Amino acid sequence: MDTAHYRRQGDKELQEHQLKEEKRLLEIEQNIKSLEEKIDTLSKDVTDLVSAWKAASWLVSLVKWVGGIAVAVTAIVTLLKGVK
């Protein structure tokens, strides 16, 4: 066989390899776009969650104060009942 035949065979293999790599890179690019979309969605969800937590933090603080006051009142009532 002559050199031209080997060269054509090598060119064909190179083209096949390039085609495989282009397909692989396209799949990677699609995966990256999908991941970017998921990250955007998660970022929005986390932002909403943080906003909700900040909005409810006053309620959590109020519940703590009410709980503390209830414990204090219960202690005072118990003490007064014990004294009588």
User: pLDDT tens across 4-58, in order?
Assistant: 766 778 888 899 999 999 999 999 999 999 999 999 999 999 999 998 888 888 8
The predicted structure's pLDDT at residue 1: 54
2 backbone dihedrals φ, ψ, rounded to 5°: -95, 170
User: Residues 69-82: pLDDT tens digits?
Assistant: 999 999 999 999 98
What's the pTM value of the predicted model, to 2 decimals? 0.51
- Stronger pLDDT, 83 or 40, i.e. the higher one: 40
Give pLDDT, residue 2: 65
Q: Nearest-5° angle of CA 47, CA 49, CA 51?
A: 70
